[in-house]
């Protein structure tokens, strides 16, 4: 790890001032559970880090009638275990409980989790593997290589690295907004527009400017939030990233037909993936194993399997169908 300058501002405004005058490449330090790893691997080499994890302004959790609001510095474990979130947004709570280990959830922040970088082994494997995320134009070792865990959706000729997070998938399903502060003021960014597909510039992973800081996340209150779940399928039950996951929320009308449907996919795309066509396929329908399976098929209709990851198309379809079944039971109950 290279030497770096450590800064610990005591307010959000002071943190923004430090960002405004920072050297290029300076990074925000929150929980540190991703940044430290990348620094030790030599992938991130910031000249300075700005530590925001003690800022009380970022550590709030507020469950209101119209929206859920939590600060970007709130710990994953605290948000996951909040009684009102577990009751009103079970899919959101589950997306956090099923992410990482308890030790990491106790340290990692929700804002940092949203911006975590890919777990692609080629990206993290060192300079002997070409990776356009590390060095633009160098190539992508995953394309034509060992791609079992790589993206089925949203990839390009330059990159097929999967977005690894779980929380962002649930937040995309429920129309969350991140509030971002910077020298030009504060702005709201819909979670669905926060992350970008790799295109021909895989190093650009989100729309935030280098001098901007996520300060809070807002989730609108919705009946579909109460009838929700997050299903994560992986090689082992814990301490593993998703082979396929789905965040699903449902409501039914008085006749038992689907009135509202929300489906987002994780572990299978280069960014958190909202499956809007799959949602539309269920509206006005009765939820049955057949219609749930069909929604899964629609969700993966555009999948582009590579050499070794084709099995995850069927896995993803079944994940969506099973998640819809669980969400349906919760929506009725």
Q: Does residue 230 sit within a domain?
A: yes
Adjacent-strand bridge partners of 206: 195
Task: Determine phi and psi for 232, rounding to 5 degrees.
Answer: -125, 120
Q: Does residue 232 sit within a domain?
A: yes
Q: Does residue 287 sit within a domain?
A: yes
DSSP string, 126-172: -TTS-BTTTSTTS-BTTTTS--TTS-SBS--SS--PPP--SHHHHHH
Each residue's pLDDT tens digit, 235-253: 988 778 999 999 999 999 9
Each residue's pLDDT tens digit, 254-304: 999 999 999 999 999 999 999 999 999 999 999 999 999 999 999 999 999
Each residue's pLDDT tens digit, 183-229: 899 999 999 999 999 999 999 999 999 999 999 999 999 999 999 99
CATH number of the domain to which 10 belongs? 3.30.43.10
Q: Does residue 74 sit within a domain?
A: no
This prediction has a pTM of 0.95
Number of domains in the chain: 2
Could you tell me the residue range of the domain that residue 243 belongs to?
A: 225-332
Residue 31 token pair: 């929980």
Q: Does residue 327 sit within a domain?
A: yes
Q: Does residue 149 sit within a domain?
A: no
CATH number of the domain to which 274 belongs? 3.30.390.50
């Amino acid at each position: 790890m290279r030497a770096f300058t450590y800064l610990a501002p005591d307010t959000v405004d002071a943190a923004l001032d430090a960002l405004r005058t920072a050297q290029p490449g300076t990074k925000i330090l929150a929980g540190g559970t991703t940044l430290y790893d990348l620094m030790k691997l030599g992938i991130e080499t910031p000249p300075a880090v700005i530590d925001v994890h003690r800022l009380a302004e970022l550590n709030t959790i507020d469950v209101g009638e119209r929206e859920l609001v939590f600060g970007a510095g709130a710990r994953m474990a605290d948000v996951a275990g909040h009684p009102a979130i577990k009751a009103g947004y079970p899919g959101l709570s589950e997306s956090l409980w099923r992410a990482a280990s308890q030790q990491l959830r106790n340290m990692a922040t929700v804002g940092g989790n949203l911006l975590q970088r890919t777990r692609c082994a080629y990206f993290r494997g060192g300079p002997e593997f070409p990776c356009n995320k590390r060095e633009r134009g160098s190539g992508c070792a995953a394309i034509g290589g060992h791609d079992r865990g790589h993206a089925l959706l949203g990839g390009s000729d330059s990159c097929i690295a999967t977005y690894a997070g779980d929380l962002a998938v649930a937040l995309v399903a429920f129309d969350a907004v991140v509030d971002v502060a910077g020298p030009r003021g504060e702005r709201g960014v819909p979670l669905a527009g926060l992350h970008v597909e790799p295109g021909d510039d895989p190093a650009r992973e989100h729309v935030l400017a280098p001098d901007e800081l996520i300060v809070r996340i807002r989730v609108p209150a919705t009946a579909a939030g109460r009838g929700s779940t997050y299903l994560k399928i992986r090689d082992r039950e814990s301490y593993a990233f998703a082979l396929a996951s789905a965040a699903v929320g449902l409501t039914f009308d008085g006749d038992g037909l689907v009135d509202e449907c929300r489906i987002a996919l994780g572990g299978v795309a280069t960014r958190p993936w909202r499956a809007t066509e799959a949602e539309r396929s269920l509206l006005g329908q009765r939820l049955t194993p057949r219609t749930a399976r069909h929604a899964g098929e629609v969700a993966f209709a555009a999948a582009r399997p590579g050499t070794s990851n084709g099995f995850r198309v069927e896995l993803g379809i079944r994940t969506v169908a099973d998640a819809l079944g669980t969400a349906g039971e919760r929506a009725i109950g």
